[in-house]
Homo-oligomer: A and B are copies of this chain.
Amino acid sequence: MWVNEAIKKLGIRYPIIQAPMAGGITTTELITSVASSGALAMIGAGYMKPDSVRKQIREIKKQTTRPFGINVFVPRPFSADLKQIQTAKEILKPFTEEDIATEIPTFEKEQETYEAIIEIILKEEVPICSFTFGLPAKAVIERFKEKNTILIGTATTVKEAIEAEKAGLDMVVLQGSEAGGHRGNFLHDAEESSIGLMSFIPQTVNQVTIPVIAAGGIMDARGALAARCLGAAAVQMGTAFLTCKESGAHDLHKKAILTATEDKTVMTKAFSGKWARGIQNEFIAKTKSRQSELPAFPIQNALTKGIRSASSARNSTDFMSLWSGQSPMLAKDQSVEELIQSLIKEAEEVRGLL
């Protein structure tokens, strides 16, 4: 595989980053396996509590001396409209017999958790930190720069990538429309910011000077080398790592991806209030017509939490959020080492095509 300044800066062997998937997927086992494989491991701290973040960072440090990174969600102001919450509860009623969560997240609390996690990342000196759903404040960036932390933004449009560079971030992940999970858009709406990587990468590298990392639908050497041709310095893969043996994703989630076809992923905001790509299921289908009435992220996410866990607890994918990129047919039930080694090996063959 290619080597460049971005790879050297990240201290990794291969230009491959494991996407910081939130929600229990990036277990310490996954992180250490990815780090050992020569790719960059990333903790998805999105929904984690500060204490768990500190604990996992320390656990990882005991098990590996290789660099790893962490991703945080940048909170954006939101408020709880009581009528909207009532409507959401009505929409969600057919999916549960339990009471729907009444503890509604507030922006203040989200901001507090975010700030606490930032302090931990600084104190524990995690060498790489990436951000989703927005850009960190100037003061936060300055504090990280004092520690020489490598900062990575997430963009879904050229303008968002330009903003990440202007803010002083070192690199930027370009999230193509192919990507699974939540859209990282923060300046545009979902439609404007669903750009296929074939279009997104070259248009962005013409406008920014920081290295760009391609994310969305990349599962093997073909995707990695394609992203490189388009101008990416590295690739970030989510779904490909999610189905690995070491990932903490629910077995039903892995199985759903391993048996899905490329036409079965859809965009929905019914799970969390923010658009995200996942495998079509009953919950998505039945809430589709009323998506616009739901409260914003992370309120809707809190409201559906019980429904999602109850579904997985009874071994049913019907109401689970089965996040997946658009390439489920390329997913494999394998170890991280197998994923990385086969990618590296196949890269030679792909290069031979040109």
Contacts and interface: CB of A to CB of B under 8 A. Distances in A.
Interface of A: 2, 157-159, 176-178, 188, 191-203, 206-207, 216-220, 222-223, 225-231, 261-264, 266-267, 325-327, 329-330, 350-351, 353-354
B191 A266 contact: yes
Contacts of A266: 191-192
A354 B2 contact: yes
B326 A202 contact: no
B177 A196 contact: yes
Contact of A222 (B177, B195, B220, B229): B229
Which of A158, A198, A325, A354 has the most CB atoms of chain B within a 10 A radius of its CB?
A: A198
Count the copies.
2
Contacts of A191: 266-267
5 nearest CB pairs, A to B: A199-B217, A196-B196, A199-B326, A178-B196, A226-B226
A288 to B, nearest CB: 10
A157 B202 CA distance: 24
Nearest to A2: B354
Given A196-B197, A353-B2, A225 B229 contact: yes
A262 B220 contact: no
A194 B191 CA distance: 12
Contacts of A193: 263
Contacts of A192: 263-264, 266
Contacts of A261: 158-159
23 contacts: A157-B262, A158-B261, A159-B263, A178-B199, A192-B264, A192-B266, A195-B262, A196-B198, A197-B198, A198-B218, A198-B226, A199-B217, A200-B326, A202-B327, A202-B330, A203-B262, A203-B327, A203-B329, A206-B330, A222-B231, A226-B226, A226-B227, A351-B354
A199 B327 contact: yes
Contacts of A326: 195-196, 198-200
Contacts of A198: 176, 178, 196-198, 216-218, 223, 226-227, 326-327
A51 B353 CA distance: 43
A165 to B, nearest CB: 16
A51 to B, nearest CB: 38
A329 B157 CA distance: 12
Contacts of A351: 354
Contacts of A225: 226, 229, 354
Given A193-B263, A261-B158, A325 B229 contact: no
B159 A206 contact: no
Given A198-B217, A199-B325, 15 more contacts: A158-B329, A159-B263, A176-B196, A177-B194, A192-B264, A195-B262, A196-B197, A198-B198, A200-B262, A203-B327, A222-B229, A223-B230, A226-B226, A229-B353, A354-B354
Contacts of A201: 222
Contact of A158 (B200, B206, B263): B263
Contacts of A176: 196, 198
A228 B2 contact: no
B196 A228 contact: no
A158 B195 contact: no
